[in-house]
């Protein structure tokens, strides 16, 4: 047995077992013993993992699980039904015994622990719940991090759901994550805690969007991670509506107006001090307002074209187009395909003290110090077209128009290009050649397209293969904490760059055929999105199924 007389894991016995199996060197064992003197309360597995030998904490936990005959579980918060498990034991009971309920069904409850020989709590828990206890071994670090989150959130939800909807006091527009309002009522404090948890958790999980969706009995929280939505939590209906009201207030929206869609913006500060911007959008539904928050990752604020996935000849060709003094460059793709990120990265590449960069956006997604940014405001009759006209009077060198949506905006973009400006913008089309036919549909004359259009880049985002579990057996991949068993972690771009050649210009006519344009583009060397996706698969960066899912 690897425990002491109190049934706690014993560091010396663990080290003896690891040495006997030649999993660590004697020097590493001595280093762990020295560390234990300075950190007497640290879990033995964490002491061993901290000395930096090849066995990390997860590997040590898996080794221990095999030794004691208990399954190892890498807890994925997105896979835990917090509504069902949070009320199974008190916070004091869970803290005292170092355990956490992670699953429950009709007959049993699954409990995670980092002390496999401790059993005194099992009988009490089984008797109080009337269910069998199924034990799993988990990382002590994960248990320590998740226990207050799981149990504290459940306490806040119960407290917030007992009373009426909380009143909203005066709140700072910059929300400090983890901070409580000391002068708020009990219900206010619960709602503050829930909202703080939601925002911090979404950021930790690398979510791009947060969905708060009211229903008749419960509201649902879902996160979009790497392009896919994941269900996270179900709140009582009253709590969901209170969360929406608080976030509306923080976003400087009209809290009393619940019949019309609204847009807002707020900033939240991480414990590390970094700020994250969030864009808010509400939508009236039969059960209350649905709220979606779009997160702007602070790490992406300084993304370069290379980190977005542009590389090699494709990058060189795009950079060459950006060096043109006048003309139109378009980025196309569906919503959420990374068009805005590409535009910002391109503008950052062009920014210098000798250049006047101006943009008209709806809304301004990222504040850039080198760009003079203007936001569309329909209430003031300021749209893309009128905003672009105003920018032309500001002596610009380069203009970014957030999106060409209508004929008027398209004509202003063409006029700007004809008068000696480089114009960057986006269109919603399926591929690069489709941008030409779309401009024709918007009423732009074919000869103006021939005179101004320099290039079009279509793009998509695909999930990248998880490096932590790549090559592992399927049963081990299911427990991967990095990707939650999906096999993917993070995203990268697929690109299709159309350079408007002389031959292609000749094919741009009032009756241009998309197939003919595409055929000429391929003759000119166009690589379509699927071909670029195939290269990503060959590089081992994504899968064939993922490319087909995104590109069709």
pLDDT digits (tens, 9 = 90+) for 514-536: 999 999 999 999 999 999 999 99
Q: Is the pLDDT of residue 171 over 60?
A: no
Which residues are 545's β-sheet partners? none
Q: How confident is the model at residue 473 (pLDDT cuts 50, 70, 90)?
A: confident
Render pLDDT for 365-387 as a digit per residue (tens, 0 to 9): 777 888 999 998 888 889 999 99
| 3-state per-residue secondary structure call for 302-357 | CCCHHHHCCCHHHHHHHHHHHCCCCEEEEEECCCCCCHHHHHHHHHHHHCCCCCCE
Task: Establish whether the linkage from the previous residue to 230 is cis, with ω within 30° of 0.
Answer: no
**Architecture in CATH for domain 206-299:** 2-Layer Sandwich (3.30)
Torsion-angle region of 527 (φ positive above 0: left; ψ -120 to 50: alpha; else: beta):
beta
Burial of 248 (0-12, 13-18, 19+ CB in 10 A): buried
Least Cα distance to 236 among 205, 191, 184 occurs for 191
Partners of 266 in the beta sheet? 278
Q: Which of 5-9, 161-165, 313-317 has the highest average model confidence (pLDDT)?
A: 313-317
Q: How far apart are CA 534 and CA 359, in angstroms?
A: 35
Tell whether domain 302-460+491-528 is in CATH 3.40.50.300: yes
- And the tokens for 358? 């101006």
pLDDT value at position 176? 47
The dihedral through the CA atoms of 25, 28, 29, 30 has a sign that is positive
Specify the residue for token string 């197939």: 515
pLDDT score recorded for residue 298: 55
- Predicted local confidence at residue 239, as pLDDT: 85
Q: What is the mean pLDDT of residues 422-428?
A: 96
Residues 176-205, mean pLDDT to the nearest whole number = 66
The mean pLDDT value for 10-25 works out to 90
Q: Whose CA is closest to 276, among 206, 179, 192?
A: 206
Question: What pLDDT score was predicted for residue 170?
Answer: 32
- 358: Cβ contacts below 8 Å, ≥ 6 apart: 371, 372, 373, 374, 391, 394, 396, 398, 399, 400
Q: Model-level pTM?
A: 0.71
Give the residue, 503 or 152, on which the prediction is more confident: 503
Residues 250, 352: Cα–Cα separation, whole Å: 35
Rounded to 10 degrees, the C-alpha dihedral 339/344/345/351 comes to 150
For every residue of 367-407, DSSP letters joined together read --TTEEEEE-BGGGTB-HHHHHHHHHTT--SEEEES---SH
Residue with tokens 């939508």: 283
CA–CA distance, 276 with 214 (Å, rounded to integer)? 25
Residue count of the chain, please give it.
Answer: 552
Alpha-carbon distance of 197 to 280, in angstroms, equals: 17
Sign of CA dihedral 464, 470, 471, 477: negative
Q: Which of the four pLDDT bands, split at 50, 70 and 90, describes residue 335?
A: confident
How is residue 96 written in tokens? 């005292």
Instruction: Tell me the pLDDT band of 302, cut-offs 50, 70 and 90.
Output: low
Average pLDDT over residues 275-283: 88
Look at residue 523 in the predicted model and tell me its pLDDT.
95
pLDDT of residue 25: 87
- Write the CATH number of the domain with boundaries 82-156: 3.30.300.160
Q: CA-to-CA distance for 106 and 241, rounded, in angstroms?
A: 31
Contact 84, 233 (CB under 8 A): no
Q: Where are the domains of the chain?
A: 11-55, 82-156, 206-299, 302-460+491-528
Task: Provide CB contacts within 8 A for 539, sequence distance 6+.
Answer: none
Does the structure show a pLDDT above 50 at 281? yes
The answer to whether domain 206-299 and domain 302-460+491-528 are alike in fold is: no
- Per-residue pLDDT at 232 exceeds 90: no
């Amino acid at each position: 047995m690897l425990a002491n007389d109190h049934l706690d894991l014993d560091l010396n016995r663990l080290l003896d077992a690891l040495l006997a199996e030649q999993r660590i060197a004697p020097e590493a064992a001595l280093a762990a013993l020295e560390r234990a003197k300075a950190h007497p309360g640290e879990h033995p597995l964490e002491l061993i993992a901290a000395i930096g030998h090849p066995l990390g904490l997860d590997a040590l936990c898996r080794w221990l699980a095999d030794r004691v005959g208990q399954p190892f579980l890498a807890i994925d918060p997105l896979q835990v039904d917090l509504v069902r498990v949070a009320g199974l034991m008190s916070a004091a009971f869970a803290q005292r015994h170092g355990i956490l309920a992670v699953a429950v069904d009709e007959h049993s409850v699954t409990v995670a622990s980092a002390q496999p020989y401790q059993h005194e709590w099992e009988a009490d828990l089984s008797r109080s719940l009337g269910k069998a206890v199924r034990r799993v071994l988990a990382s002590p670090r994960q248990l320590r991090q998740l226990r207050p989150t799981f149990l504290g959130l459940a306490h806040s939800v119960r407290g917030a759901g007992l009373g009426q909807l909380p009143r909203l006091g005066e709140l700072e527009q910059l929300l400090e994550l983890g901070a409580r309002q000391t002068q708020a009522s009990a219900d206010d404090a619960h709602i503050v805690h829930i909202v703080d948890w939601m925002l911090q958790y979404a950021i930790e999980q690398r979510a791009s969007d947060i969905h708060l969706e009211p229903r008749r009995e419960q509201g649902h929280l879902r996160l979009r991670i790497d392009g896919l939505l994941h269900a996270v939590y179900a709140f009582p209906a009253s709590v969901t509506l209170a969360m929406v009201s608080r976030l509306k207030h923080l976003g400087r929206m009209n809290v009393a107006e619940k019949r019309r869609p609204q847009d807002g913006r707020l900033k939240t500060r991480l414990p590390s001090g970094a700020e994250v911007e969030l864009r808010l959008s509400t939508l009236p539904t039969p059960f209350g307002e649905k709220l979606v928050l779009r997160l702007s990752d602070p790490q992406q604020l300084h993304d370069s074209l290379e980190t977005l996935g542009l590389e090699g000849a494709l990058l060189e060709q795009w950079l060459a187009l950006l060096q043109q003094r006048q003309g139109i460059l378009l980025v196309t793709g569906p919503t959420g395909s990374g068009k805005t990120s590409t535009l910002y990265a391109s503008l950052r590449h062009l920014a210098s003290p000798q250049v006047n960069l101006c943009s008209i956006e709806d809304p301004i997604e990222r504040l850039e110090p080198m760009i003079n940014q203007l936001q569309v405001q329909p209430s003031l009759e300021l749209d893309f077209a009128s905003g672009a006209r105003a920018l032309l009077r500001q002596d610009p060198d380069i203009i970014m128009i957030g999106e060409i949506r209508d004929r008027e905006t398209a004509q202003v973009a063409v006029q700007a290009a004809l008068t000696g400006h480089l114009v960057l913008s986006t269109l919603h089309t399926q591929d690069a050649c489709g941008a030409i036919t779309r401009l024709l549909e918007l009423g732009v004359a074919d000869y103006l397209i021939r005179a101004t259009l320099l290039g079009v880049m279509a793009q998509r985002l695909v999930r990248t293969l998880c490096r932590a579990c790549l090559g592992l057996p399927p049963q081990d991949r299911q427990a991967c904490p990095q990707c939650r068993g999906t096999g993917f972690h993070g995203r990268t771009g697929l690109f299709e760059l159309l350079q408007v050649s002389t031959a292609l210009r000749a094919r741009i006519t009032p009756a241009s055929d998309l197939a003919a344009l595409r055929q000429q583009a391929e003759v000119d060397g166009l690589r379509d999105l699927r071909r670029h996706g195939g290269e990503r698969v060959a590089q081992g960066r994504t899968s064939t199924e993922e490319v087909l899912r995104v590109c069709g």
